[in-house]
Amino acid sequence: VTSVDKVCARFRIEGRRVTPQRRAIVQVLLKEDAHLTADQILTQVRRQLPSISPATVYNTLHELTEMGLVQELDLGLGLEERRYDVGVEKHDHIVCISCGRIEDVPLRDGLNLPVDEYHNFKIVDRRVTYLGLCPDCASNSEAQ
Amino acid sequence: VTSVDKVCARFRIEGRRVTPQRRAIVQVLLKEDAHLTADQILTQVRRQLPSISPATVYNTLHELTEMGLVQELDLGLGLEERRYDVGVEKHDHIVCISCGRIEDVPLRDGLNLPVDEYHNFKIVDRRVTYLGLCPDCASNSEAQ
DNA sequence: ATCCCTGCAAAGCCTTTGCAATGCA
DNA sequence: TGCATTGCAAAGGCTTTGCAGGGAT
């Protein structure tokens, strides 16, 4: 699912309606391909639809999450807000602890889901966040 | 660092003062050894100090986090609040997606910090959360 | 005797909710 | 036309802030 139209088709399949607001939100999510906060999404969408309300953005993000097209991210840093990621492929994240930049990390061998069980839990999924310094911040800290 | 007194010593070393409130908070964190929310910590501490304020709990938790004695956890489920974990040893977490139960997971071979770099980031740390069903919830869902 | 720390209350932020009006199907 | 969806405004939950009084050193 990689185009606005395809996502809108999914909306219809699920018995939901396609509105300008929803198209705009999906468009921002797909275009930015970033890890935006709800507020950033709201700001971007308001370029097209100045009067869209926060409630609508939240509603749509939750629907997209339910449909499995978007993943809510809490990067586990405490400092980070909740972000929304168009989860096309399963991937991990790496966050710069200095500037907050976030990038996707493809899954690697040796880091796959373990098949055995911890504490007798049936493991369904896992979330991995790497913390580090991005190239820019790394060179800045060396320079100091 | 595993006793109230040792933590209090750290307080003094850092030029901070040791108060009954701080002792009580540390005591709860060490005793429970759980993954409590700020509110749960507040409730527990109020058994000893009924008039302690939320602000004091938050202050102390942030100080402990700064000192590296406590780790703030956002388990990345969206549903989960921020929790506080006495981070004695480096470990991962596993969360039951049904009942919310949280357990520690020791680090495993093959899941160590990668020595190479993603996207030229210098990786400093990583956070891993496993999602699954705890034994109780797993057997309940089979039963249905 | 300092001045750090506490408690209170108010303010802040982000997110959710309720409801009437709107507009998609 | 019918009902999902929107926007607004208010409410909610958690966390932070400001300040005066109290307590640790």
- pLDDT tens digit sequence for B87-99: 667 788 888 888 8
> What distance in Å separates the CA atoms of residue A37 and residue A51, rounded to the nearest whole number?
19
Per-range mean pLDDT, top range of A111-115, B30-34, B51-55, B112-116: B51-55
Q: What is the pLDDT of residue A45?
A: 97
Q: What is the pLDDT of residue B82?
A: 81
Average pLDDT, chain B: 84
Q: What is the pLDDT of residue B69?
A: 92
Average pLDDT, chain A: 84
The structure tokens listed for A127 are 């979330």
Per mean pLDDT, which range of A131-135, B5-9, B48-52, B55-59 is the poorest?
A: A131-135
Q: Is the CB of A39 under 7 A from strand C?
A: yes
Q: Which residue has the higher pLDDT, A98 or B24?
A: B24
pLDDT per residue as tens digits for the range A95-106 = 888 887 888 887
pLDDT per residue as tens digits for the range A18-77 = 999 999 999 999 987 778 999 999 999 999 999 999 999 999 999 999 999 998 887 655
Note the strand C nucleotides within 7 A of protein beta carbons. Answer: 4-9, 14-18, 23-25
Q: Which of B97, B98, B96, B104 is nearest to B35 (CA)?
A: B104
Share of chain B above pLDDT 70, in %: 83
Q: How far is the CA of B115 from the C1' of C9 (A)?
A: 50
B contact residues 73-112, partner A, Cβ 8 Å cutoff: 73-78, 80, 82, 94, 96-97, 103, 105, 108, 110-111
Note the strand D nucleotides within 7 A of protein beta carbons. Answer: 4-9, 14-18, 23-25
Q: Count of CB contacts below 8 A, A vs B?
A: 127
DSSP assignment of A47-67 = HH-TT--HHHHHHHHHHHHHT
Write the Ramachandran bin of B91: left for phi over 0, alpha for psi from -120 to 50, otherwise beta.
beta
Q: Is the CB of A17 under 7 A from strand C?
A: yes
Whether A131 has its CB under 8 Å from any CB of chain B: the answer is: yes
